Structure 1
Amino acid sequence: MAMRYTFGGDEHLFVECSEAMSLHAFFASLSMTKAIGEAGIKGITEICPANASFQVKFDPDIIHPDDLLKEVKAIETAASGAAPVISTRIVEIPVFYGDPWTHETLMRFRERHQDPSGTDLDYAARINNYATVEDFIAAHAGSPWFVSMVGFVSGLPFMYQMVERQRQIEVPKYLRPRTDTPRLTVGHGGCFGCIYSVRGAGGYQMFGITPMPIYDPTQTTSYLRDFMVFFRPGDIVKFKPVDRDGYDQAVEEVDKGLFVPPIREVRFDLAEFQKDIDGYNAKLEGLLHGH
C-alpha cells in the first residue's frame, strides 16, 4: 500500500507504512526514518520508528505542517526504488526457558489465562502445533528475530521472527493483564516477542528469563555505560537456551562487570534473505560466532 499520512495535533506527523506487520513494512519504516534523519529538515525535533509506521515530531513555528508533509513525501518517492539493505548488528541473548521466577508468577495469575491447567509454554506449544515444549523452545530459539521498535516502557524491544509467515510463532496475550512480570522476562503476544526491561504489569505469555540487563538508568552495567538502553530498531536477536547453571554464571559475570554479549556488525539484505530464509539465517549465525 502507499504510505498513509495523518497529523496528530499541531506537532506530529504520523505515517502508516502498511496495515499489517511484515518485514517489508518494517524496512519501509526504518529506511524512511533514517532518510528523514539524514535530510536535516529544520524544525524536526524527534523521529520515532515503530513496527509498521513512524511518527515525526516537529516545531510548527519553524516548519509549516504542509511543508513538512511535502518534504517527507519527497523522501518516500526517492526511497521507493532503493534496495532494502541495512547495516545493523546481530546479538546473542541467553535465555533460561521455563525458569522458576516466571513460573511462580504465571501460576499466581492462572485465572487470567486462556488455559489455567498448564503453563504459558505448554499453551504456546500446543496452539502452535508442537508436540512438546522442548520442540517449541527449539523453534523459538532456532531462528533470529528483528527488533522492530523499542518502547512502551524504557528499553523494551518488540521483536519479529525472521521466518516465513506460516512458521511464525503466534500466541494471544493473557485474557486479562497481570499486575506483575519479572524483570527480563522473555515474552510473546500476537506475532511479537519482547523482553521486559523492568518489573511491572504485562499481558504477554512468559517463556523464560534472560540474565542480560537491557536497560540500566545508572549506566553501571559494563556494556551500557555509554547508553542506558541496549536495543535499537534493526537489531537482530538470536536466543541461546541456557540451563540454571548457565543462567547463574551469567548473572555472576554481569555483577562483576565481565559479561559481554556476543555482537557482530552485519549487512542485512532483505531480497537475499527472502530467496533462502533458513540459509541466510544460518549465515548470520555463522557471522555471530566467527564462522
Structure 2
Amino acid sequence: MRYTFGGDEHVFVEVDEAMSLDAFFRSLSITNAVRDSRIRGVTEICPANASFQIRFDPDLIAPDDLLGELRRLEGAGAGGGELRTRIIEMPVYYGDPWTHETLMRFRERHQDPTATDLAYTARINGYPDVPALVAAHAGSPWFVSMVGFVAGLPFLYQMVEPERQIQAPKYLRPRTDTPKLTIGHGGCFGAIYSVRGAGGYQMFGITPMPIYDPAQTISYLREFMIFFRPGDIVKFRPIGREAYDAAVAEVEAGRFCPLIREVDFSLPAFQADPAGTNAALLGVLHG
C-alpha cells in the first residue's frame, strides 16, 4: 500500500494499481476498520475502487500519528474476507425510450454511430443479440465498489470470472446529457446515474427506483438521502414499460419498497466458486 498526503488535511492510500474485487474488498475492510476504531481527529472516510482517502483535523491528530494508525490497521484488509452486507433487487427497463432518444442525439460521439449502445456492446462482447447481453447483465450480481463522483452514484463490479465480465469503452466524447437513473457501463464497471447530467458510459436502460433524494421525501430515503453504500450487492431485474410505469406510480405514492435482504458475503468462497456463491446470494434474495 502507498501513502501520500494531500495538503494539510488528507491522506490518500493506494491499495493496488489494478482494480479488482480483491482491491475493492481490501479498501472497504480497512476503511470500515478506521471507522470502527474512532481515531481522534478523523472527520471523513472515503473508500474508492482501489484506494481510499481520509480527511483529518491536524489540530487534533498529527499527520505522522494518523499515518501510524493507518499502517496499524493495514491487516484489517487482509483478514478473513467476510462481510455482512445487503443484497438489493433493482428493476431495470432495458432499451427504454428515454435513454434511446438521448443516445440517438449523441451518435456522432460514439464508436459506432449506426448501432445503439446495447447493440454495440453486445457485438463487441460476442453476444449474438441484445437479449443475450441483457440476460448476461441481469443474470449475475454486482458488487458496489464505491459511491461518489456524483452524489449517490454507485460504481458496480460484475461478480463473474474476469473472462466473462462485460467490457465496453466510454463514448469517444462525453455526452452533455444523460437521463436520471440511467444504467450505464464503461470499461468493466456499471454505474447508475443518480441525477441527470453529462456522462460517457454506454446507456443500457433506466430504473424507476430513485437512489438519491436530497429532500428525503421518498419513503425509503427518509433516514439518509443516499441509498447505496460500498459493499452492497445488486441484482438487476428486467422489466417492461407497464411494470416501469407501475413502479414510478408506486414511488410517487410513497409505496415503493425495494427488495432488500441482509446477507453474509465471503470473498474466499466467491473466489473458489463464483457460480455457487452467486446462486446462494440469489437464494437469500428470493428465499
Distance in 2, matches of 1:163 and 1:266, equals 18
Distance in 2, matches of 1:25 and 1:255, equals 38
Deviation at residue 255 of structure 1 after TM alignment: 1.0
Distance in 2, matches of 1:264 and 1:104, equals 35
Q: Is the 8 A contact 2:26 2:78 kept in 1?
A: no
Of 98-107 and 79-88, more deviation after overlay is shown by 79-88
Query: Which amino acid in the other structure matches residue 141 of structure 1?
Result: A
Distance 1:170 1:81, change over 3 A: closer
**Residue 117 (structure 2) pairs with residue 117 (structure 1):** no
CA RMSD of aligned residues (A): 0.8
Percentage of matched positions with identical amino acids: 71
Query: Equivalent residues in 2 for 1:1-291 (5 A)?
Result: 3-76=1-74, 78-79=75-76, 81-290=78-287
TM-score for the superposition, normalised by structure 1: 0.97
SS of the aligned residue for 1:212 comes to: coil
SS of the aligned residue for 2:234 comes to: strand
Distance 1:184 1:73, change over 3 A: same
TM-score for the superposition, normalised by structure 2: 0.99
Q: Which segments of 5 or more consecutive residues in structure 2 lack a partner in the other structure? A: none
Distance in 2, matches of 1:79 and 1:93, equals 31
Deviation at residue 183 of structure 1 after TM alignment: 0.4
Distance 1:148 1:81, change over 3 A: closer
Distance in 2, matches of 1:146 and 1:127, equals 23
Distance in 1, matches of 2:223 and 2:89, equals 20
Distance in 1, matches of 2:162 and 2:279, equals 18
> Deviations for 1:8-65, whole angstroms, at most 9, x for unmatched residues?
1111100111001111101110000010111111111111000110000011111111
Q: Which runs of 4+ in 1 moved over 4 A?
A: none
SS of the aligned residue for 1:285 comes to: helix
Deviation at residue 279 of structure 1 after TM alignment: 1.3
Deviation at residue 241 of structure 1 after TM alignment: 0.2
Query: Which amino acid in the other structure matches residue 283 of structure 1?
Result: A
Query: Which amino acid in the other structure matches residue 206 of structure 1?
Result: M
Q: How many positions carry a matched residue from both structures?
A: 287
Query: Which amino acid in the other structure matches residue 285 of structure 1?
Result: L
Distance in 2, matches of 1:137 and 1:97, equals 7
Distance in 2, matches of 1:149 and 1:91, equals 16
Deviation at residue 123 of structure 1 after TM alignment: 0.6
> Deviations for 1:85-139, whole angstroms, at most 9, x for unmatched residues?
1110000000000000000000000000000001000110011110111000000
Distance in 2, matches of 1:6 and 1:110, equals 41
Deviation at residue 81 of structure 1 after TM alignment: 4.6
Deviation at residue 215 of structure 1 after TM alignment: 0.5
Query: Which amino acid in the other structure matches residue 35 of structure 2?
Result: G
SS of the aligned residue for 2:265 comes to: strand
Distance in 2, matches of 1:81 and 1:97, equals 38
Deviation at residue 80 of structure 1 after TM alignment: 5.4
Distance in 1, matches of 2:128 and 2:77, equals 43
Distance in 1, matches of 2:160 and 2:116, equals 25
Q: Is the 8 A contact 2:84 2:262 kept in 1?
A: yes
Q: Is the 8 A contact 2:29 2:77 kept in 1?
A: no
SS of the aligned residue for 1:116 comes to: coil
SS of the aligned residue for 1:194 comes to: strand
Query: Which amino acid in the other structure matches residue 229 of structure 1?
Result: I
Q: Is the 8 A contact 2:182 2:207 kept in 1?
A: yes
Q: Which segments of 5 or more consecutive residues in structure 1 lack a partner in the other structure? A: none
Deviation at residue 79 of structure 1 after TM alignment: 2.2
